[in-house]
Amino acid sequence: MTDVELARLCANGDESARKELYTRYAAWLYALCFRYVGDRELARDLMHDAMIKIFDCAGKYQPHGSLKSWCSRVTVNLVIDHLRKSRQMDVVPLEESVTTVPQPDTEEVEKIPKEELLRMVSQLPPTKRVVFNLYCVEGYSHKEISALLNIKEKTSSSLLFKARGQLAENIKEYIKRNGL
């Protein structure tokens, strides 16, 4: 079943189509939510909310991109809205001091399990976590991030720099602890 057909059937209320959509993308959307909020139960509830919204708004899907990327955008917007309402999106002031940390090698990072990387990312402070996910995982530009989060591009760049620095520290510690 093509993406367009699946979206059309979901919009019409077809239960089997919705089950198909859930089977295809629910687990992936759950991981996406967990990357942003860092809590499994909250991530699951947000994934449910996102699926409900996707079922209701499936008629708005346009075949410019894949259905998966459209679902991803709907979910990201919903998660960011949740974080904003919960006041977890307080922007870190630019004056915060930044220590330069040696960047890890790509070979070192490749040795680290995915689950561990996911845990490291989910433990970042909320705002840095969101910017890192949007830039490095979802592929948003700083301009798009600033428009989405209502911050300046310079702020987005600064937050990404700090997130990278914190992740680099965590990776170094993990490698040292596990002797990789």
Partner 1 sequence: MMNDWTDIIGEQLSNMSGTLPADDWKVLQQKYSSSRRRARRAAAFHWAGRLVAAAAAVLLIIFISLPKENTPHTTLIAEEIPHSHVILPDSCTLSADNCSLPQEELHPHLGTSKATESVQDKPSGQESESTCSTPEVTTDMSADAASGTISETASETATEAVSDAPVKIQSSTTPEKATDEVDKTGKENKYLALDNLLEEPERNKNRRKISIGISGAISGTMDMGEKADISYGSVIEPADSSYHTKPAASKYKSDRYDHEMPVSFGISARFHLNDVLAVSTGINYTKYESKRTGYIQGHKQSSMQKVHYIGIPVRFDLILAESKNLSLYLGAGIQADKCLWATAWGKTIHEKEVLWSATCAAGLQVNLTPSSSIYLEPELSRALNTGSLQTYRSEENSTLYMRAGIRFTLK
Q: Which residues bind partner 1 (CB under 8 A)?
A: 19, 22, 26-28, 30-31, 34-35, 39-45, 48-49, 51-53, 55-57, 82, 85-88, 103-106, 108-110, 114, 117-118, 121, 132-133, 136-139, 164, 167-168, 171
The distance of closest approach from Cβ of residue 148 to partner 1 in the complex, given in angstroms and rounded to an integer, is 16
The distance of closest approach from Cβ of residue 71 to partner 1 in the complex, given in angstroms and rounded to an integer, is 13
The distance of closest approach from Cβ of residue 7 to partner 1 in the complex, given in angstroms and rounded to an integer, is 17
* Closest-CA residue to 121 (of 91, 164, 157, 77): 164
Residues with Cβ within 8 Å of 51's Cβ and at least 6 positions away in sequence, in order, are 21, 22, 26, 29
- Residue 51 or 95: which CB sits closer to partner 1? 51
- Residue 67 or 95: which CB sits closer to partner 1? 67
Please tell me the distance from the alpha carbon of residue 36 to that of residue 15, in angstroms, as a whole number. Answer: 29
Please tell me the distance from the alpha carbon of residue 131 to that of residue 120, in angstroms, as a whole number. Answer: 14
